[in-house]
Amino acid sequence: MTTWIISDLHLCAQRPAVTQAFLHWLRTEVVKAEALYILGDFVEVWVGDDILDHPQHGAEFVPIVQTLRALADRGVKLYFMHGNRDFLIGQHFALACGLQLLPDPTLLIWGDTRVLLSHGDALCTDDVAYQQFRTQVRSTQWQQAFLAQPLTARLAFAEHARQQSTQNKASYSMDIMDVNATAVTALLREYHYPDVLLHGHTHRPGSHRLEIDGHVCERMVLGDWHDQAVCARHDQHGLQPYTLSLLT
Ligand code: LP5
Ligand code: MN
């Protein structure tokens, strides 16, 4: 049986072709699979699950929720881990889609292969401003105060944060926005040297061979979804990167 792992779709109404390609892939491929893991930044921004109940703002998510739910009802196991764009996805959305929420990181054991899943943003420790922002917005207190505001105010905050983030990134080096080698080593040590660390976030798909304390580990990085998407596929042949073409 096949398991798919994807990340960084950044689904939004402004890029309907990506949503259409994703839905088509769910209906034609994932329907035959055992499980699908979504490692965050599934949507461009998420300001609270109540958006689903809003007739205008929630409309773009209706086909996504319905298609995921149909797969879950057919027995495909669906898992979701938060990214930095959708850390506010909660139980209401998860239940509507039939998704099980996973903590970051999560260790999977497939036979004799151990795979550690993460979104990847927590490993970008050189990006000090982002880590401060992350600590703030992941606190229960901040989230309760944010979610207590009206939906339109939250959408405006998110828009402002997106502008600020785009502006910040223009002045950061590529190194600052990549994972920090020491943070990766510490995580792999903490999880007793899994065979693979699988993450997204950096949008720099690739495979990196690491040797830590005499153990060989692979850092497999997934890509974002534009004309193509680099995801991962696990089946009887093992875990491999897999490129989906999203062009129709
Ligand atoms: O996302 P991306 O790729 O642009 O960059 C990320 C880091 N930025 C972020 C911020 C998100 O993009 C913002 C959208 C999240 C919406 C969530 C719900 C609503 C929350 C509302 C918050 C007020 O994750 C960026 C990294 C980059 O990855 C590379 O790793 O560098 O981090 C930053 O830019 C750090 C900044 O400090 C982010 C600060 C935004 C704060 C804006 C406050 C807005 C307050 C509005 C007041 C009127
Ligand atoms: Mn991300």
Per-residue model confidence as pLDDT tens digits over 8-21: 999 999 999 999 99
Closest CA to 91 of 52, 145, 45: 52
CA distance 91 to 49: 8
* pLDDT computed for residue 172 by the predictor: 87
Ligand nearest to the CA of 39: 2
* pLDDT computed for residue 197 by the predictor: 98
Ligand nearest to the CA of 7: 2
247 band by pLDDT with thresholds 50, 70 and 90: confident
The stretch 203-210 carries a mean pLDDT of 98
Query: Tens of pLDDT along 53-86?
Result: 999 999 999 999 999 999 999 999 999 999 999 9
Q: Which residue's CA lies nearest to atom 5 of ligand 1?
A: 165
CA distance 6 to 208: 18
200 band by pLDDT with thresholds 50, 70 and 90: very high
Which of ligand 1's atoms lies nearest the C-alpha of 85?
Answer: 15
Query: Tens of pLDDT along 31-40?
Result: 999 999 999 9
DSSP lists the bridge partners of residue 242 as 231
Q: Is the CATH number of domain 3-245 3.60.21.10?
A: yes
DSSP alpha helix (H) spans, the chain: 16-28, 62-73, 91-97, 128-137, 140-147, 151-170, 181-190
Query: Tens of pLDDT along 211-236?
Result: 999 999 999 999 999 999 999 999 99
Q: Which residue's CA lies nearest to atom 35 of ligand 1?
A: 130
The domain segmentation of the chain, as residue ranges, is 3-245
Contact indicator for 241, 200 with CB cutoff of 8 Å: no
The stretch 195-217 carries a mean pLDDT of 98
Q: What angle do CA 91, 66, 156 make, to 5 degrees?
A: 60
